[in-house]
Chain A
Amino acid sequence: MKESVLLGVALLAGLFSVCLPESAVAADRLNVVATLPSLGSIARAVGGERVSVAVLSRPGQDPHFVDPKPSFIVKVRDADLFILNGLELEVGWVPLLLEGSRNGKIQAGGEGYFDASAAISPIDLPKGQLDRSLGDVHPFGNPHYTLDPLALRAVAEALAKSYTRLDPSGAEVYAAQAKAYQKRLDIALFGAELVDEVGGAKLAREAEAGRLDVFLTDNGLGGKLGGWLKKMQPLQAKPVVAFHTNMNYFWRRFGIVLLATVEPKPGIPPSAGHVADVVLMMRQRKIGAVVTQPFYDDSAVKLIAEKSGAKVVKVETEGDDALAIIDAAVLHVADALR
C-alpha cells in the first residue's frame, strides 16, 4: 500500500514538473475576454487604456465552429468582463468555457456577462414550428450582425455602460471613447459632411427606422450623403446570391436583395438539384455575384459561378478591426455588383 502511494505521487510529480511562465495580466486594468475579433476591436476602442482585451476566435475562423480549448478556459477564468456575440452563435463552445472557468463574475446574468446581441434588434426571427429538419436555424434570430455598422454603434454604447458598472471611476472616459468610436462609424457610413451637419445619432435613428432617404430628401440633404451608403447607392435593389445567411444584416443595411443561398437550408451542404435551381435563377435574374466566405467549401460556388457567368466574391466577416472588415466588404461587394 505505502509503496504504491509513493509510486503514485512520484509519477504525478514527475509528469508535471513544468516551470511557471510569467503572468500576462495587468492588475490595474479591466480584464476583458471577447469571443469574436470584431467585438474585441470594439472592446478595445471603448475601453482604451483602462482595459486589457483577449480575443478567443481568430480572424478568418467560422465563429460557429471554434474548439473550446482549455487555454480559452484559462483566459475566461481571469476575465472581469466576458463579451459574446449571442443569439446562439457560440452555443457549440461558449457554455463549456463559462462552466469550466469557475469564474462566478462572468456567468450568464452576472455583471461581467455582456451579450452584445442584447443591444441590437435581431432579424430573421423564425416563425411557426421549428425543428432540425430545417437545418441550423438560429431560433432567436440571425446572429451575424457584426457587418452592420449601426449594430456595432449600439453595441459600443451598451459596452460603455457595462464598463462603467464594473469601473465607475472610468465612466466619463468610457462614454467619451464610445462616442468617438460611434463617430468613426457614422463618418464611415454616412460621410463626414452629413454627420457634421445632422449629427450621427439622428442619422442612425432615421436609418434604423428605414426613413433615411425620406429624411434626406425632405431636408434637401441628399447630395451630402457620403461614406459606405454613398458607395453602395448604385447597388440599390440589386439581387445577390450568398453561400450562407451570414450577411443578411449587411444586405439589409445597403438595400441589396438576397435572392437565394447556395445552402438549401442553413448549415446543410448544397445538393446537385439545389445548385441547378440556383444557376437557373441566376441566369434568369442576371445576378452578377455569388458571395461566400473563405472558410466555406467553394466547389459548389465555383460551379455556380461557372455555369451562370457570375463572379465569386469572398468576403471576410471577422477581423481585428470591425470597421476595416465592413470597409473591405463594401469595397468587394460594390466592385462585384457594379
Chain B
Amino acid sequence: MRSLLATSGLAATFLIRSASAEPARAAYLDLSFDALMAAGLSTADDPLIEALERGDHDPNRRGFTLQNFEITGTGAVDPYFNGEAHLVLKLDRAGETAIELEEVFLATTSLPSGLQVKAGQMFEAFGRQNPQHPHAWQFVDQTLVGARFLGPDGLRSLGTEVSWLAPTPWYFLVTGGVFNANGGTTYSFVNEEEPPFYANVEPNAVQGLEDLQYLARLAQNVDFGDETSTTLGASWVHGPNSTGEGATTDIFGADLYLRWKPVVNEQGWPFVQLQGEWMSRRYTQAAGQDEGGTSFTDAALWDWGYYAQVVWGFQTRFTAGARWEEAGGDSADSAPDAVLSARRRASSVLTYYPSEFSKLRLQYNLDLVSTLAGPDSGTNEHTVWLQCEFLLGKHGAHKF
C-alpha cells in the first residue's frame, strides 16, 4: 500500500500541481481585437467591384483590403446592466484610417418577466445576419439584399429595443424597437449621405413620432430531436425616408435557420447549416428632383431580394458552403444603375479554422450581371477572395 502514496506523489510532482482554493479573479472589462483582411482577384475593374460588393466592410478592390478591425469591450456594469462597445477601424481605398462607432449599448440583466431592454447605438434585430458582426458571417461579403435594403453598414441606429422571452415551452422571442431614422446607417430611411434614390428632406428634424423608425421582430426556435434545431423569424421595420415629407419606407423580412449536428461530434464538427432570408422593401417616393436634375413623381416602389446558403462542416476544422442570391423589383426597372440594377450572384466558399481564434477563407463569386446597367452589361464577372481573420483577447461564446 505504500506504493499508492509514492506514485500519487510522483504523479503530483510530475504533472499535477494542486491548489487548495481558487482565488477570486477580476473581470471588469473583457477586451478583444478581431481583424479581418482579404485579398482578391477579379475580372471586374475596381469601380465595378465597388458596385458589386456593396457592403461597407466587404473586400472592394483587386489586391488587398483591410475589411474590419474591431475592438470589443464587454462587461457587467453593475448588478443591473451589461455594457458592450464595438469600435471598428478600417483602411479606405486611399489608405486612410476610418473609424466608426459600430455599437455601444447597455442591456438590462435583471428585469422580471423575461424582459430585456437595450439602449444605445446598435445593430437592429432585423433578420438573422444583420445583428451579426462581419467576422461571424459564413461568407467574405455581405448579402446583396442586406446591403441593398438594410444598408452597406447594416441597419444600425441609436435607440432602444425591448425584447420579451415569452413563457412558452419553446423559444419564442418578441422584439420591438424605436430608433433614430436618420444617418448613413439607416440606409433606406432618412439618409442624405448616399441614399438609394435621392434626398430631399432635412435630417435631424424629429417633430413627431412619425419621424422615428420602428422595428418589430418575432423569432421562434424548435428542436427536432437532439441534433436538429430550426429558427424561424419575421421582421418588420418602418420609418420615414429622405425623398420628402410623408414619404416612408417599410422593410419586411422572413428568415430561416436550420442546423444539424450529431451529438457525438469532434470539436463541433461535422455539421450542416441552412440559412435563408427573404426581404421586401416598400419605398414611397415623394415627388422631387435628384442632384442631377432628374424629376420624380409620387411613387411606391416594391423591391425584393433573398439569399439562401448552405454551409457544411465536412471535416474537423473545415467548412464548405454555397450561396445563391437575387435582388430586383420596381427600382431596378425604373432607375437602373450599377447600385440599383437587378442582381444575381452565386458564391462558393471553403474555410479552414486552424483554431477557434483564426480562420482562412477562400471564396469564389460569380456575378451574373447581364441586367446590370452601363457599359459592363452583358458580361459575367468572376472574383476570387482570400480572407484571413485573427482574434485576440477573450473569446466570446458564439451565438447559436
B170 proximity list for chain A (CB < 8 A): 18, 21, 71, 74
Partner of B234, one of A12, A62, A125, A252: A12
**A199 at interface (Cβ–Cβ under 8 A)?**
no
Contact assessment for B265 and A62 in the assembled complex, using a CB-CB cutoff below 8 Å: yes
A154 proximity list for chain B (CB < 8 A): none
Question: How far, in angstroms, from A258 to B13 measured CA to CA in the complex?
Answer: 12
B229 proximity list for chain A (CB < 8 A): 67, 69-71
**B368 at interface (Cβ–Cβ under 8 A)?**
no
Q: Given A125-B19, A210-B8, are A70 and B254 also a contact pair (CB < 8 Å)?
A: no
B9 proximity list for chain A (CB < 8 A): 210
The smallest beta-carbon distance between B226 and chain A, in angstroms, is 6
Contact assessment for A102 and B400 in the assembled complex, using a CB-CB cutoff below 8 Å: no
Q: Given A12-B218, A216-B1, are A122 and B22 also a contact pair (CB < 8 Å)?
A: yes
**B99 at interface (Cβ–Cβ under 8 A)?**
no
Contact assessment for A294 and B264 in the assembled complex, using a CB-CB cutoff below 8 Å: yes
**A26 at interface (Cβ–Cβ under 8 A)?**
no
Q: Given A70-B231, A295-B265, are A252 and B11 also a contact pair (CB < 8 Å)?
A: yes
Q: Given A65-B268, A74-B169, A118-B22, are A255 and B4 also a contact pair (CB < 8 Å)?
A: yes
Contact assessment for B114 and A102 in the assembled complex, using a CB-CB cutoff below 8 Å: yes
| Tally of chain A residues near chain B (CB < 8 A) | 79
Question: How far, in angstroms, from A267 to B264 measured CA to CA in the complex?
Answer: 17
Q: Given A8-B236, A132-B357, are A58 and B263 also a contact pair (CB < 8 Å)?
A: yes
The smallest beta-carbon distance between B124 and chain A, in angstroms, is 15
Q: How large is the interface on B (under 10, 10 to 19, 20 to 34, 35 or more residues)?
A: 35 or more
A76-104 interface with B by 8 A CB criterion: 77, 91-96, 99-102, 104
Partner of B250, one of A8, A20, A67, A211: A8
Interface-facing stretch out of B42-50, B63-71, B104-112, B333-341: B104-112
**A61 at interface (Cβ–Cβ under 8 A)?**
yes
The smallest beta-carbon distance between B170 and chain A, in angstroms, is 6
Contact assessment for B16 and A95 in the assembled complex, using a CB-CB cutoff below 8 Å: no
Q: Given A77-B165, A122-B22, A257-B14, are A8 and B252 also a contact pair (CB < 8 Å)?
A: yes
The smallest beta-carbon distance between A123 and chain B, in angstroms, is 5
Question: How far, in angstroms, from A21 to B172 measured CA to CA in the complex?
Answer: 13
Question: How far, in angstroms, from A42 to B268 measured CA to CA in the complex?
Answer: 27
Q: Number of contacts between A and B (CB, 8 Å)?
A: 202
User: Residues 10-23 of chain B: 1 if any A CB is under 8 Å from the residue's CB, otherwise 0?
Assistant: 11101111111110
Partner of A127, one of B17, B20, B265, B356: B17
Contact assessment for A213 and B1 in the assembled complex, using a CB-CB cutoff below 8 Å: yes
Partner of A96, one of B3, B5, B14, B399: B399
Closest to A21 in B: B169
Closest to A222 in B: B1
User: Residues 229-270 of chain B: 1 if any A CB is under 8 Å from the residue's CB, otherwise 0?
Assistant: 101101010100000000010101010000101011111100
Contact assessment for A92 and B398 in the assembled complex, using a CB-CB cutoff below 8 Å: yes
Closest to A71 in B: B223
B316-331 interface with A by 8 A CB criterion: 316-317
B15 proximity list for chain A (CB < 8 A): 124, 248, 257-258
Contact assessment for B263 and A23 in the assembled complex, using a CB-CB cutoff below 8 Å: no
B12 proximity list for chain A (CB < 8 A): 210, 252
Closest to B249 in A: A4
Contact assessment for B4 and A71 in the assembled complex, using a CB-CB cutoff below 8 Å: no
**B62 at interface (Cβ–Cβ under 8 A)?**
no
The smallest beta-carbon distance between B107 and chain A, in angstroms, is 8
User: Residues 137-166 of chain B: 1 if any A CB is under 8 Å from the residue's CB, otherwise 0?
Assistant: 000000000000000000000000000010
Partner of A61, one of B21, B264, B399, B400: B264
**B116 at interface (Cβ–Cβ under 8 A)?**
yes
**B275 at interface (Cβ–Cβ under 8 A)?**
no
Question: How far, in angstroms, from A214 to B1 measured CA to CA in the complex?
Answer: 7
A257 proximity list for chain B (CB < 8 A): 7, 10-11, 14-15
The smallest beta-carbon distance between A134 and chain B, in angstroms, is 12
B107-131 interface with A by 8 A CB criterion: 109-112, 114-116
Question: How far, in angstroms, from A22 to B236 measured CA to CA in the complex?
Answer: 30
**A7 at interface (Cβ–Cβ under 8 A)?**
yes
Partner of B3, one of A62, A73, A255: A255
The smallest beta-carbon distance between A254 and chain B, in angstroms, is 9
**B205 at interface (Cβ–Cβ under 8 A)?**
no
A255 proximity list for chain B (CB < 8 A): 3-4, 7-8, 11
Contact assessment for A11 and B4 in the assembled complex, using a CB-CB cutoff below 8 Å: no
**B355 at interface (Cβ–Cβ under 8 A)?**
yes
Closest 4 CB pairs of A and B: A213-B1, A70-B171, A70-B221, A237-B7
Binding site for A on B (CB under 8 A): 1-12, 14-22, 25, 82, 109-112, 114-116, 165, 167-172, 216, 218, 220-223, 226, 229, 231-232, 234, 236, 238, 248, 250, 252, 254, 259, 261, 263-268, 282, 316-317, 355-357, 395-400
9 A-B pairs (CB sep. < 8 Å): A18-B170, A93-B397, A214-B2, A214-B5, A216-B1, A255-B7, A257-B10, A257-B11, A258-B11
